[in-house]
Structure 1
Amino acid sequence: MLDLVIDARPAALSPGFEVKRILPYRLRRMLGPFIFMDHAGPVNLSPELLPTLDVLPHPHIGLSTVSYLFGGQVTHRDSLGVEQIIRPGEVNWMTAGSGIAHSERFEDPATLAGGALEMIQTWVALPEKDEEAAPAFTNYQPQQLPIFTDGGVWMRLIAGDAFGLKNEVKTHSPLFYLHVALQPGARFGLPRGYPERGAYIAKGLVEVAGRPYGPGQLLVFTPGQDPVIVAREASTLMLLGGEPLGPRFIWWNFVSSRRERIEQAKADWEAGRIALPPNDNAEFVPLPPDKSRPAGGPSPAPEALS
């Protein structure tokens, strides 16, 4: 019933901002089209340290980023000129396509009140036909996202199609993404019709087939099975999955079905051919050093994920 349990690992998002990294994982690189997943927070810092959380302008290609907050707020700025304050319960879907740069700034001291700042960010790989699409950003308000409640279960459809729920969030391949809150004793299943499905436990404690699982674990389920998730205590889950897209190469923030496209993106960022956000262009994240080769050696192949 369970193919794999992935335990989140610590990762530095910026010099002062450590997150829980869930995907990619060495034994499970992708889940449907989802190729990356981070869980940040709850963050407990004094307000004067707020700027240390900022993620400076950095580039992406070949994917969509999906930012979803449980608490706090973050300001998104990108090379399209979009400036958007992201708040809890919204869906913020940025399609990088042929190339975009964006920053994530934490500018409101109230963000840190009582450890309020908490967010999930996922990356969704694009089908080959859409990898070079024009960049785009769309903010979807909570009232645009359907909610279902029943028997100790509350859930919001973030994107895709699940349990008969649909919304207007534009996706590029069949997938589902849900925020689910369970009361103690509540029982919950998974959407049917998708070959790859998983449940990330953000808070609480759940049981599957008599075994307990807790915060920071991604449960990857066997295709074709109909598991029952039982909440041992109040729990928050993120359900995600969909149709696989085939192997992808990934290096830093770049994703592509073609190895040479990753190399081009690296050169483009170093040469300044991916524009910075016009309203946040005084600093940026430089291309990281390649630690897998000696200085001056040939560029290694990006890692292929499937």
Structure 2
Amino acid sequence: MSHSISHLIDGRLHDLGDGFFVRRMLPHLAARHIGPFVFFDHMGPVTMAPGTGMDVRPHPHIGLATVTYLFDGAIRHRDSLGNVQDIRPGDVNWMTAGRGIVHSERTPDAERASGQKLHGIQIWVALPKTAEEVAPEFHHHPVASLPLIERDGARLRLVVGDALGLHAPVRIFAPMFYLAAEFERGGKFVLPAEYAERAVYAVDADLLVDGEPLATQRMAALAAGAEVEIVSPNGGHAVFFGGAPLDGERHLYWNFVASSRERIEQAKQDWVAQRLGHVPGETEFIPLPT
């Protein structure tokens, strides 16, 4: 293994129903989190036939922020604050759960009628202890509002945080970065050493990490303190992310993230009693797993 890679991460496939699979990369035994990123799901790519779609019924979150980023397709977000927002490739939907929010994720009507290919990444960021109980928020940032760098056969969009001297408009609570990259054949990018914890994920094509092969749909947690050259021999998508280390371990249960087990137990009771909110216009919900 390259001196630039501290460990390699292979994901696990999860069936969310109706043949819709995600590849879960974090949390992992080798890396419970990278910076504040505690959860990483690669959705699809999946082709949905006309008349079918994704239907993730209303469910709750606490103690985290979710960020959804698509390469293909569209998802409609609805939440207990009353927000209704479609997200399309390159846009960012950032939801700060804080002390509690409920949302659903479904295929929009037009895409459900026509059928669509859906492909994207969903990440959870643990909020720092000082912000775990903030008021919930939702913000949508269209693709045109996100910083873009094009060089050496790579297009790099800053989805969240600060990197390469750029600043994304998403409101965050701790130092972090998240770059979505699209490479031409032979494209390259040097990832600076500005954060203590960093990782790279090969979305749909193999990469070279300081000359070391990183296969498609594998993640490499990078060693701290040195810049790393990424080369895409055949072109494709990749994701780079990381940040300052978390301010302590986190407990994860279902859709809840918290710095104490007691807070998780409270959230479980609140959901069973339906005290965390309701998505306007929707009556169904996902029960607490037993």
Q: 1:137 to 1:14 in 2, by over 3 A?
A: farther
Q: Does the 8 Å CA contact 1:42/1:115 hold for their aligned counterparts? A: no
Q: 1:211 to 1:193 in 2, by over 3 A?
A: closer
Letter in 1 for 2:245: P
- 1:138 alignment partner in structure 2: 139
- 1:40 alignment partner in structure 2: 43
User: How many residue pairs were aligned?
Assistant: 286
Q: What are the within-5 Å matches in structure 2 for residues 182-261 of structure 1?
A: 182-245=183-246, 246-261=248-263
Cα drift, residue 111 of structure 1: 6.1
CA distance in 2, matches of 1:137, 1:286: 23
Q: Does the 8 Å CA contact 2:48/2:117 hold for their aligned counterparts? A: no
CA distance in 2, matches of 1:112, 1:230: 39
Structure 2: where are the runs of 5+ without partners?
none
CA distance in 2, matches of 1:43, 1:111: 13
Q: Does the 8 Å CA contact 2:50/2:115 hold for their aligned counterparts? A: no
Cα drift, residue 45 of structure 1: 3.0
Q: Does the 8 Å CA contact 2:97/2:137 hold for their aligned counterparts? A: yes
Q: Does the 8 Å CA contact 2:49/2:115 hold for their aligned counterparts? A: no
1:244-274: CA deviation from partner (whole Å, max 9, x where unpaired) = 1121111110000111000000000001111
**Given the two structures, how large is their TM-score scaled by the length of structure 2?**
0.94
Q: Does the 8 Å CA contact 2:79/2:103 hold for their aligned counterparts? A: yes
How well do the aligned residues superpose, as a CA RMSD in angstroms? 1.6
- 1:275 alignment partner in structure 2: 277
**Given the two structures, how large is their TM-score scaled by the length of structure 1?**
0.90
Letter in 2 for 1:33: P
CA distance in 1, matches of 2:285, 2:57: 5
CA distance in 1, matches of 2:207, 2:184: 10
Cα drift, residue 230 of structure 1: 1.3
Cα drift, residue 88 of structure 1: 1.1
- 2:179 alignment partner in structure 1: 178
- 1:285 alignment partner in structure 2: 286
Q: Identity over the aligned pairs, expressed in percent?
A: 47
1:103-154: CA deviation from partner (whole Å, max 9, x where unpaired) = 0011335369786211110000000010000000000111210111112111
Q: Does the 8 Å CA contact 1:269/1:287 hold for their aligned counterparts? A: yes
Q: Does the 8 Å CA contact 1:44/1:112 hold for their aligned counterparts? A: no
Q: Does the 8 Å CA contact 2:75/2:105 hold for their aligned counterparts? A: yes
Q: What are the within-5 Å matches in structure 2 for residues 64-213 of structure 1?
A: 64-108=65-109, 110=111, 116-213=117-214
Letter in 2 for 1:45: M
Structure 1: where are the runs of 5+ without partners?
290-306
1:186-233: CA deviation from partner (whole Å, max 9, x where unpaired) = 221213221000111111121124332222111110111222111111
Q: 1:94 to 1:213 in 2, by over 3 A?
A: same
Letter in 1 for 2:275: R
Cα drift, residue 86 of structure 1: 1.1
Q: 1:255 to 1:247 in 2, by over 3 A?
A: same
CA distance in 2, matches of 1:30, 1:115: 32
Letter in 2 for 1:211: E
Cα drift, residue 8 of structure 1: 1.9
Greater displacement, 182-191 / 9-18: 9-18
Q: Does the 8 Å CA contact 1:43/1:112 hold for their aligned counterparts? A: no
Matched, 1:2 2:5: yes
CA distance in 2, matches of 1:82, 1:210: 45
Which structure has greater strand proportion? 2
Letter in 2 for 1:67: T
